[in-house]
Structure 1
Amino acid sequence: MLVNDPGFMADPHPAYAALRTAAPVRRATTPDGSPVWLVTRYADVRLLLNDPRLSLSKRNSAGKGYGGFALPPSLDANLLNIDPPDHTRLRRLVTREFTARRVEQLRPFVRRVTNEMLDQVACQSRADLMAALAMRLPLTVISELLGVPPEDGQQFRSWTTNLLAPQPGQPPEQAKEAVAGLHRLLINLVVQKRAKPGGDLISALVSVREEDEERLSEDELTSLAFLILWAGYETTVHLIGNGILALLTHPEQLARLQAQPGLYPSAVEEMLRFANPNPFSIRRFPLEDVRIGEHTIPAGDTVLLCLAAAHRDPSRFRDPDRFDVAREDNAHLAFGHGIHHCLGSALARLETEVAVSTLFERFPGLALARPVDHLSWRPSFRSRGLQQLPVTL
Structure 2
Amino acid sequence: MTQGPWPQQPPEPLLTRDYDADPAQVHERLRKIYGPVAPVDLLGVPVWFVMGYEEVLRVLQNSGGVWSKRVDRWRAHAEGRIPADWPLLPVFQVNNSTFQEGAALNGLRHAWTSALAPFQNPGHPQAKQLEQAVVDHADDLIGVLAEGGATGWADLAAQYARPLPLMVAERMLGFPAGRGEDVVMDIWRMIDAGPEAAAAFERLYAAMTDLGAAKRETPGDDLPSYLIEAKPDITLDELARELLMLPGLLDFTASLVCNVVVEVAANPDVRESLSVGAIDETVNRVALLNPPMANLTFRYALTEVKLGNYTIAPGDPVMLSVAAAHQDPRFAGAIDWHAIRTTRAHLAWGAGPHNCLGQLLATRITAIAVHRLFKRMSKVKLALPPDQLPWRPSPFMRALRSLPIQYELAEAPRPPRSGPAPDQAPAPQEPPADEPAGRQSRSPLWTFLRGLRRPR
Which one of 332, 339, 347 corresponds to residue 346 of structure 2? 332
Structure 2 equivalent of residue 297 of structure 1:
312
Contact 2:284 2:342 in 1 (8 A): no
SS at match of 1:119: helix
2:328 is the counterpart of 1:313: yes
**Partner residue of 2:90?**
70
Task: Identify which of 43, 59, 67 aligns with 1:54.
Answer: 67
Moved over 6 A (4+): none
2:156 maps to which of 111, 129, 141: 129
Q: Which moved more, 1:245-254 or 1:32-41?
A: 245-254
Trace 1:1-393 onto structure 2 (pairs within 5 A): 1-22=12-33, 23-30=35-42, 32-51=43-62, 52-63=65-76, 68-70=88-90, 76-99=94-117, 100-101=120-121, 104-105=127-128, 106-122=130-146, 123=149, 124-166=151-193, 170-171=194-195, 174-210=196-232, 215-229=233-247, 231-258=248-275, 260-261=276-277, 263-318=278-333, 326-393=340-407
Cα distance in 2 for partners of 1:325, 1:366 equals 26
Contact 1:312/1:320 (CA < 8 Å) preserved in 2? no
Counterpart AA for 1:256: S
Matched residue SS, 1:98: helix
Query: Could you say which structure has the larger radius of gyration?
Result: 2
User: Given residue 110 of structure 1, which amino acid in structure 2 is its aligned partner?
Assistant: V
User: Per the alignment, in what secondary structure is the counterpart of residue 184 of structure 2?
Assistant: helix
Q: How far does the alpha carbon of each residue in 1:201-242 deviate from its partner, in whole angstroms, 9 at most, with x for none? A: 1112222344xxxx322222111111122x223211211112
The answer as to whether partners of 1:5 and 1:379 remain within 8 angstroms in 2 is: no
**Superposed displacement of residue 160, structure 1:** 1.2
For residues 289-340 of structure 1, give each alpha carbon's deviation from its aligned partner in whole angstroms, at most 9, with x where no partner exists: 1112431111111101111011122322347695x69333231101110111
Q: Which amino acid aligns with 1:12?
A: P
* Alignment check: 8 A CA contact 1:267 1:326 kept: no
Instruction: Indicate if the aligned counterparts of 1:104 and 1:350 stay in contact, CA closer than 8 A.
Output: no
How far apart, in 2, do the equivalents of 1:362 and 1:320 lie? Answer: 34
CA distance in 1, matches of 2:158, 2:303: 45
Using the TM superposition, give the Cα deviation of residue 285 of structure 1 relative to its aligned residue in structure 2, in angstroms: 0.7
1-structure distance, mates of 2:182, 2:92 = 20
Amino acid at match of 1:84: G
Amino acid at match of 1:285: Y
What TM-score, normalized to structure 2?
A: 0.77
Q: 1:71 to 1:269 in 2, by over 3 A?
A: closer
Shift of 1:249: 2.4
**Equivalent pairs: percent with the same residue?**
29
What is the TM-score when the length of structure 1 is the normalising length?
0.89
Asked if structure 2 preserves the Cα contact closer than 8 Å seen for 1:257 and 1:325, the reply is no
